């Protein structure tokens, strides 16, 4: 009899757990639809319900963090993203969004750490290279930032933003000719503002010699 009772109790726990997880997924899906429609209040409420149904649901914390970010609650968003990463150390999106939050809060070293984690988990994550390059620019680690832009261009030779940022970085680092050529390439690819920077910072002699 004792064995039978234990078996029934285990079955009930499993059933309850499965139902709770199913509810959490349903709330997450509903919340994600509202989030995509920019109905952040309803999204937030659904993400709350998902977490109530399953307090270990990393994706729900990640999405609630996004909703809080939409409300400009950056510190609340950071708390949720920290929890999401604590529950799932491989949640790439959570590292990336946390990195952007740290950048906004001027924690550039923290941002670099998170963008590096993204790249470790996905070496082809283009936005992480670009964002890490921007963070490195803020701490004047120009050579490292240039290397991130170069890697991004290797991944996507038509990445306008990478050429533009690398151009600025090279100019700031004293490599004006190479920087002007990068800005010219960004302009060729469609970035009109690159020509404004060229007029301000470059001159004709920048284009006489090859800088690569």
CA-to-CA distance for 166 and 152, rounded, in angstroms? 10
pLDDT score of 23: 87
pLDDT score of 13: 37
pLDDT score of 203: 73
pLDDT score of 49: 95
pLDDT exceeds cutoff 50 at 8: no
CA-to-CA distance for 81 and 68, rounded, in angstroms? 10
Determine the average pLDDT of the residues in 177-193.
94
Dihedral over alpha carbons 72, 74, 75, 76 (to 10 degrees)? 60
Q: Are 65 and 47 in contact (CB under 8 A)?
A: no
Q: What tens digit of pLDDT does each residue of 9-62 get?
A: 343 333 444 465 778 899 999 999 999 999 999 999 999 999 999 999 999 999
Q: Is the dihedral of CA 88, 89, 91, 95 positive or negative?
A: positive
Average pLDDT, the chain: 88
Q: What tens digit of pLDDT does each residue of 144-171 get?
A: 999 999 999 999 999 999 999 999 999 9
Q: Averaging pLDDT over each range in 12-21, 112-121, 193-202, which range is the top one?
A: 112-121
pLDDT score of 22: 77
Q: Give residue 211's Cα distance to chain centre.
A: 32
How deeply is 133 buried, as exposed, middle or buried, from its count of CB atoms within 10 A (0-12, 13-18, 19+)?
Answer: buried
Structure letter (DSSP) for residue 173: T
> How many residues are recorded in the chain?
212
Q: Are 99 and 131 in contact (CB under 8 A)?
A: yes
Residue spans per domain, the chain: 158-212
Which ranges of the chain does DSSP label H, i.e. alpha helix?
2-36, 40-53, 58-70, 74-87, 92-104, 108-121, 126-138, 142-155, 160-172, 176-188, 193-201
**Cβ neighbours of residue 157 closer than 8 Å, sequence gap 6 or more:** none
């Amino acid at each position: 009899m004792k064995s039978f009772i234990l078996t029934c109790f285990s079955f009930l726990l499993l059933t309850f757990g499965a139902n709770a997880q199913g509810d959490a997924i349903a709330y997450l899906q509903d919340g994600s639809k509202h989030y995509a429609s920019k109905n952040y209040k309803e999204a937030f409420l659904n993400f709350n319900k998902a977490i109530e149904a399953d307090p270990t649901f990393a994706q729900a914390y990640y999405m609630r963090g996004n909703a809080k970010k939409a409300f400009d609650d950056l510190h609340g968003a950071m708390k949720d993203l920290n929890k999401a990463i604590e529950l799932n150390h491989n949640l790439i999106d959570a590292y990336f969004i946390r990195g952007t939050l740290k950048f906004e809060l001027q924690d550039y070293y923290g941002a670099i750490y998170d963008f590096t984690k993204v790249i470790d988990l996905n070496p082809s994550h283009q936005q992480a290279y670009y964002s890490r390059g921007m963070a490195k620019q803020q701490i004047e680690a120009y050579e490292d930032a240039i290397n991130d832009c170069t890697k991004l261009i290797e991944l996507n030779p038509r990445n306008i933003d990478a050429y533009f940022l690398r151009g600025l970085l090279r100019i700031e680092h004293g490599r004006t000719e190479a920087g002007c050529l990068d800005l010219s390439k960004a302009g060729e690819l469609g970035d009109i503002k690159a020509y404004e920077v060229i007029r301000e910072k470059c001159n004709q002699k920048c284009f006489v010699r090859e800088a690569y």
